[in-house]
Chain A
Amino acid sequence: MKRWKSGLFNTPLRIVIAVGVVVFSVEFLFMALLHDVIMPLMSFTVSDRIWSIIDAVTLVVLVSPVLYFLVFVRMQRDFAELTRLFANLTDTLMVGVLLVDMDLRVHRWNQWLERKTGISSQQACGKLLTELFADLNSPRLLSAIELCIKHKSPQLISQTLNRYVLPIPLVSPMHDLKLMQQQVSVAPLTNSRGETLAAISINDVTESVAKSSALARLAMKMESQSNRDQLTGAYNRHFLWSWLAPQLKQSVRHSQSLSCLMLDIDYFKRINDTYGHDVGDAVLRGFAEILHEQMRDSDILVRYGGEEFVVLLTHADAAVALEIANRILDRVRKTAIAPLEVGDVRCSIGVSSWTPEEPCSAEELLKEADRRLYHAKHNGRDQVVIDRESSRTLQ
Chain B
Amino acid sequence: MELDELERDALRELANVGLSRAATQLSELLNDHIEMTVPLVQVVPYDQVTQALQLDPHAMVAAVWQSFSGQSEGTSILMFPSEDSKRLVRALVGPSMLGAGEDDLRGIEHEAMMEIGNIIITSGMAVIADMLGQEVRMSLPGYMEGNLPDIMEQRNRDNAGREMQAIIMFTHLKAAQREIEGRMVMLMSVDSVQVLFDRLHKLLRSL
Contacts and interface: CB of A to CB of B under 8 A. Distances in A.
Contacts of B141: 154, 156
Contacts of A153: 66, 118, 121-122, 125-126, 138
A162 B140 CA distance: 18
A255 interface: no
B135 A216 contact: no
Interface in A153-172: 153-162
A215 B115 contact: no
Interface in B1-44: 25, 28-30
Contact of B115 (A152, A160, A212, A217): A160
Interface in A215-238: 215-217, 219-220
Nearest to B114: A156
Interface stretch (A93-101, A119-127, A139-147, A358-366): A139-147
Contact of A161 (B30, B123, B137): B30
A151 B126 contact: yes
B104 A156 contact: no
B101 A215 contact: yes
Contact of A219 (B99, B118, B122, B137): B99
Contacts of B136: 151-152
Interface size class of B (residues with CB under 8 A): 20 to 34
Contacts of A220: 98-99
B138 A158 contact: no
A181 to B, nearest CB: 12
B139 A154 contact: yes
A206 interface: no
B93 A161 contact: yes
B100 to A, nearest CB: 6
Interface size class of A (residues with CB under 8 A): 20 to 34
A162 B28 CA distance: 11
A185 B140 contact: yes
B55 to A, nearest CB: 25
A162 B139 CA distance: 21
Contacts of B139: 154
A277 interface: no
Nearest to B22: A147
A216 B108 CA distance: 14
Contacts of B118: 153-156
Contact of B108 (A140, A152, A160, A215): A160
Contacts of A139: 28-29
A150 B115 contact: no
A188 B93 contact: no
A187 interface: yes
B129 A140 contact: no
A154 B139 CA distance: 6
B173 interface: no
A160 B70 CA distance: 32
A152 B96 CA distance: 31
Contacts of A216: 98-101, 104
B112 interface: yes
A158 B112 CA distance: 7
A267 to B, nearest CB: 43
Contacts of A188: 137
A185 B142 CA distance: 13
B126 A150 contact: yes
Given A140-B28, A152-B135, A185-B140, A157 B115 contact: yes
A177 to B, nearest CB: 13
B23 to A, nearest CB: 13
B25 A143 contact: yes
A158 B121 contact: no
B119 interface: yes
B111 interface: yes
A141 to B, nearest CB: 11
A160 B96 contact: yes
Contacts of A154: 66, 118, 138-141
B29 A161 contact: yes
Interface in B101-116: 101, 104, 108, 111-112, 114-116
Contacts of B123: 147
A154 B76 CA distance: 14
Nearest to A188: B137
Nearest to A216: B99
Contacts of A156: 111, 114-115, 118, 140-141
Given A147-B126, A154-B139, 7 more contacts: A139-B28, A147-B123, A151-B136, A153-B66, A212-B100, A216-B98, A216-B99
18 contacts: A139-B28, A147-B25, A147-B119, A147-B123, A153-B66, A153-B118, A153-B121, A153-B126, A154-B66, A154-B140, A156-B141, A160-B96, A160-B115, A161-B111, A162-B29, A213-B99, A216-B98, A220-B99
Q: Which 5 A-B pairs have the closest CB atoms?
A: A216-B99, A153-B138, A153-B122, A158-B111, A158-B115
